[in-house]
Amino acid sequence: MFGDSATAITILFIIFAAGLGAFIRKRSRDKCLRDFEQNMVTLEDTAGKTIWGKLRVENTGLEFVYPQKQKDEDGHDEASYILYKYEYPKIGLVIRFHDKLSDENKKAREKELEKTYHPDWDRRLKRKTLNVLRTVRDSVVEIVNLVISQAKKATPAGNVLASQDKYVSQMKQELMGSVGTSFEPLLEQYIGHKVVLEMIKGDKIFEYCGVLKEYTAEFIEIMNVNYKTTEDQPARTADLVVPRKLGLVRHLGE
């Protein structure tokens, strides 16, 4: 009798862990990067390489779809460039130039900028609510650990859980990996305001003034910046997603 019950519990637990993992993976795309999805963007990596294409964001990485196929040095056709998540440390900057957007994307971007800059009370309330939910989410792993630890002490369920450590660990890793936003009080108060961003490029530090749109554990998103790809090029209106290891908000800009 107990053997049948244990088998049923094991199967249900595996199904639950797999389903939860799939749901979390689907939802765990970085918010800053996701804001640029389906827009033409330029990727500058830390080695100086530049990639340009329409951005597709998945939880496992990024794809830059070229407007037209290109041939490599060996004569092979290339239609896109894939950057896997484990390669994110290579990202120096993701740029969305205003003049490279389609008319539809330009309108959507202008509408988003209007909502972002000095947001009204309902948008601020929505963000505060989301921050509460994120704080709760950040505590989920601790709660899961506590519940599972207590359940393992029970009999016979504890014996079943102890035998499924592989799936328990997998579920906890999925939950931990999903926490893409780290609440930052210093940044939170400046969301929707003009700020000055310090960004490291090579051995130099550059400053850019723009509207702080969003931040996550890995990136900062700044809108409406005057950005130059090189010193001898004119500045163009752009939105930037910068790795937090390379960029930081140093000043309030208004």
**Contact criterion met (CB below 8 Å) for 244 and 221:** no
Determine the residue type at 77: D
* pTM of the entire predicted model: 0.76
List Cβ neighbours of 246 (8 Å cut-off, separation of 6 or more). 46, 92, 93, 199, 200, 201
Quote the Cα angle for 197-203-208, to 5°.
Answer: 20
Encoded tokens for 154: 């029970």
DSSP bridge partners of 237: 226
Classify residue 30 by its DSSP letter: -
Q: Is residue 75 classed exposed, middle or buried when 0-12, 13-18 and 19+ CB atoms within 10 A define those classes? A: exposed
**Contact criterion met (CB below 8 Å) for 211 and 194:** yes
List Cβ neighbours of 220 (8 Å cut-off, separation of 6 or more). 32, 187, 197, 212, 214, 241, 242, 244, 247, 248, 249
The residue ranges of every structural domain in the chain are 2-29+126-177, 35-119+191-252
Q: Is the Cα torsion angle 116, 121, 126, 131 positive or negative in sign?
A: positive
Classify residue 117 by its DSSP letter: S
One digit per residue, the tens of pLDDT, for the chain of length 254 reads 544 565 565 556 556 655 655 555 555 789 999 999 999 999 999 998 999 999 999 989 999 999 988 877 777 788 999 999 999 999 999 999 999 999 999 999 999 999 999 877 777 777 777 767 666 666 665 666 666 566 556 555 555 555 555 555 655 555 555 444 567 888 988 999 999 999 999 889 999 999 999 999 899 999 999 999 888 889 999 999 999 999 999 999 88
C-alpha 56/C-alpha 60 separation (Å) is 11
